[in-house]
Every structure is written in C-alpha cells, then in structure tokens.
A = this chain, B = another copy of it.
Amino acid sequence: MTQLEKAINGKITREMKLVAKKESISRETVRKKIAKGELVIPANKNHLKKGLKAIGIGSMLSTKINTNLGTSHLMNDEKCEIEKLKIAVKYGTDTAMDLSTGPGIDSMRKKIIRKSSIPIGTVPIYQVLAEKGFQGISKDEIFDTIEKQCKDGVDFITVHAGITKKNAALAKGRLTGIVSRGGSMTAKWMKKHNKENPLFEFFDELCEIAKKYDVTLSLGDALRPGSLKDATDYAQITELKTLGMLALKAQSNGVQVIIEGPGHIPLNEIKKNMELEKKYCHNAPFYVLGPIVTDVAPGYDHITGAIGASVAAMHGAAFLCYVTPSEHLGLPSVEDVKEGVIAFKIAAHAADIAKGIKSARKWDDEMSRNRKKLNWKKMIELAMDSQKAKDYRKRLNKSISSGTCSMCGKFCPMKE
C-alpha cells in the first residue's frame, strides 16, 4: 500500500512519524492531511530501501525547495552534475530533480538516486524523447520508460497529463506559446499522431505504475506562462482545472499527487494564483517554478524568482522549484546552483516566518541577539552561508580590531 492508502486506512507509517517529528506537528495531523491529499511524502519504496530520508510537502509544513540538475547534450558532464547535487544538499535543498537529456541518462539517474538521501524527481518523457526523438514514439515506449525510472527509485515524476488536444489549442495567440519542454514535446506528438495525450488518455494505467512503487505524481503545467503577458490566462487556468480533475483521479487510485504551477507571474497576481490552485485542485500541494516577477533581468532570475517564490509560499505554495542566475541563458554552473539554492532557501524561510511555522523565527532572533552583542563568531556560524559572511567580514574590515564593522566603525549603534 502507498502512504496515501495507509493514511486513508488509519495507519501511521514510519515516514509519517518522521515528518511529524521534523515539523513539530502531531502524527495524526500528518496522517489526516495525507488522507485528504493536502500533504504528500514522496518516498519510492525502492529509494526507502536505499536510505531515503522521508520529508513531507504541504502548505501547513515548512516550505520545501527543489534543485534542478542534469546534463543536456550540449553540456554532458556527470561529475559536474554530482557536484551540483552535493552543493545543493550542503545549502539545504529538500529535493532534487534529474532533468538529464544528454547521453547516459540511465547511468546519471542511478548515480543521483544512489548518492541521495533526499527525494529525487524526474521528467521521464525527457528520456524518451532525448533517446528516441519524438517522431515515432508509441504510448508503450513512454510507459516503459516511466516504469523503468520508477523501478530505479525515483520519488516523484513530472507528467504533463493535463495538456489535452483541446487544452493545447488554447496556447495559440500567446506571446510565448508553450514554454514547458515536456508540454511542447507532447503538443507536437499529439499533432503528428493526431491522437490524444497518452498520459491523459491512459492516466489510470499511469497511476498503476506510480502506485506500485509509491511514486508521487507531479502534474506538470505544460501550459504555464512563459512571460508576464501570458500569466493567469485562459489556457493556464483551463489546464489547472484539468489537473485538479486528474488529482482526484490519482488520489482515488491511491496515488499521491502534487500540482505544478508557474513560472512567470506579475507580483499582484501571485496571491490569486495560489487561491485558484487551492480551489481547482482541492488543496493538493502546489509546486511552483519561481515564479519570476519580471522578464527583463536574465542573469538575476534567482532574485526575480525569490521575490515571487516568497510571496507564493506565504500565500500557500508548499514547494518551490529554484531558479538560478543562468535561467534563460543556459544550463547552470555549480556556482549558479549554489546561488539559486540560497536565494530560494531565503524565500522559503521568509515565507515560513510569515506563515508562523513553529520555530522558524528562532533562528532570526538568535542571529539578532548576537548582532546586538557584536558577537561576530556566532553571527558567522548562524549565517545561511557562513563562508560568504566570513569572507566579506575579512575583506571589508581589514583595519578593524574592535568588534564593529567598516559600515559605522566607532559610530556603531549596536555599541552601548
């Protein structure tokens, strides 16, 4: 049985206990929320056997962040991707997704799962299409790849099941069309084969596979806006409704589910987007990509994304997919991954304070107490990135022997 089925049957699993302890809420609350589909524990049975540490994702819990990794055929360096995984874990990512499309996808995925005690996600359709091209693919080949990845121990998979023939047509007339890679591939497949999206048509079959390994389905928003102009448009919201319907279907099949969301949204539309997801998707955990709040700052999209993400999480997003400074420019470097992870840890933490998550504010109060005491050793220890704080302190305060800093020096207001 899956975590969801057990929860419905009143059973509290080892993973639920872990989540309850970590989040300082009661086990019964965890169980109930899972049973209602408002909280998920993405934990593949085969990854649990290999040492996965279960986490919970839901808006009543602390906000989680995800780091995207993976090769492309233009940057295909396994070692570099493992470095990215390590640095992301070091700076506190809660999950990672392997989005590899370069040669050696199976090997990359297996390595990442083996090296991770955090939940790992994938987008199985990337492998299908990277290895075979999208032209001649059959429904069976898609499902075989999904099963293969699930068997390997992937904890959650993005499936673009909501982009039906009807929904795909709604992207016409958009400024940036379909910007989801999986969505765009699926739309092309449907057009070529003149068939319905197999992930939609055979959704029950997909649920059977997910159920077997207890893989959480992350329902992809193939029609997410790729620009502020396309945000909250009819295509996006229509697909969201489809995802809500599929969420109920998955849950009734005993499969845990989260909903993916945008992308690019103006700051004043974020709250509304969170409310619409709750309404149409029955409070299933919302997994947003950013969202970025302006299109004009490539090179700084970890910042444009952190702004949107913190506001989204404050208003109910449970899970934030990071954005790095290299977004819209290329595949991120290891340093970009670090910058992205930290920006999104900041967003998640700021939102947790705003949501009143127990114990989130303790960290800030401890920092401020030490700031008042001018206790630099402690401040550096408590900093989200201790190394950076230390380097700054060293570089900017060469001539300082007192406990102050070069900003105010002897006029430091913290000094009594």
Q: Quick check: B372 and A176 within 8 Å, CB to CB?
A: yes
Partner of A385 from the list B300, B333, B363, B383 (CB cut-off 8 Å) is B300
Q: Which B residue's beta carbon lies closest to that of A183? A: B413
Complex Cα gap A343–B353 (Å)? 22
Binary contact track A297-328/B, C-beta < 8 Å → 1, others 0: 11110111011001100100000000001111
Complex Cα gap A346–B75 (Å)? 30
Complex Cα gap A337–B343 (Å)? 19
Q: Quick check: B364 and A397 within 8 Å, CB to CB?
A: no
Q: Which B residue's beta carbon lies closest to that of A301? A: B346
In whole Å, how far is A98's beta carbon from the nearest beta carbon of chain B?
15
Q: Quick check: B175 and A372 within 8 Å, CB to CB?
A: yes
Q: Quick check: A346 and B183 within 8 Å, CB to CB?
A: no
Q: Quick check: B367 and A295 within 8 Å, CB to CB?
A: yes
Q: Quick check: B297 and A346 within 8 Å, CB to CB?
A: yes
Contacts of A164 in B (CB 8 A): none
Contacts of A126 in B (CB 8 A): 411
Known A-B contacts A268-B354, A325-B392, A409-B74; A176 and B346 likewise in contact (beta carbons under 8 Å): no
Binary contact track A326-368/B, C-beta < 8 Å → 1, others 0: 1111111100000000110011011101110000010111011
Q: Quick check: B368 and A295 within 8 Å, CB to CB?
A: yes
Residue A82 interfacial (CB < 8 Å): no
Residue A393 interfacial (CB < 8 Å): yes
Contacts of A183 in B (CB 8 A): 413
Q: Quick check: A363 and B296 within 8 Å, CB to CB?
A: yes
Contacts of A180 in B (CB 8 A): 413
Q: Which of A142-150, A242-250, A399-407 contacts B (4 or more CB under 8 A)?
A: A399-407
Q: Quick check: A396 and B314 within 8 Å, CB to CB?
A: no
Q: Which of A177, A184, A295 has the largest count of B CB atoms less than 10 A from its CB?
A: A295
Among residues 166 to 217 in chain A, which have CB atoms less than 8 Å away from a CB atom of chain B?
175-181, 183-185
Q: Quick check: B396 and A329 within 8 Å, CB to CB?
A: yes
Is the interface on chain A under 10, 10 to 19, 20 to 34, or 35 or more residues?
Answer: 35 or more
Known A-B contacts A294-B364, A368-B176; A181 and B408 likewise in contact (beta carbons under 8 Å): yes
In whole Å, how far is A385's beta carbon from the nearest beta carbon of chain B?
5
Binary contact track A49-77/B, C-beta < 8 Å → 1, others 0: 00000000000000000000000111100
Complex Cα gap A178–B351 (Å)? 26
Q: Quick check: A307 and B306 within 8 Å, CB to CB?
A: yes
Partner of A227 from the list B295, B364, B389 (CB cut-off 8 Å) is B364
Q: A72-B406, A129-B411, A177-B413 are in contact. List 13 more A-B contacts (CB 8 A).
A: A227-B371, A229-B365, A229-B368, A266-B354, A268-B314, A294-B353, A295-B364, A295-B368, A304-B350, A307-B350, A311-B311, A329-B392, A330-B392
Q: List 30 A-B contacts (CB under 8 A).
A: A72-B406, A175-B365, A175-B369, A176-B368, A176-B371, A178-B413, A179-B414, A180-B413, A184-B413, A226-B372, A227-B364, A227-B371, A228-B353, A266-B350, A266-B361, A267-B350, A294-B364, A296-B363, A297-B342, A298-B383, A298-B392, A299-B384, A300-B343, A300-B385, A306-B307, A307-B310, A307-B311, A330-B406, A330-B407, A333-B395
Residue positions of A touching B, CB distance < 8 A: 72-75, 101, 126, 129-130, 175-181, 183-185, 226-229, 266-268, 293-300, 302-304, 306-307, 310-311, 314, 325-333, 342-343, 346-347, 349-351, 353-355, 361, 363-365, 367-369, 371-372, 379, 382-385, 388-389, 392-393, 395-397, 399-400, 405-414
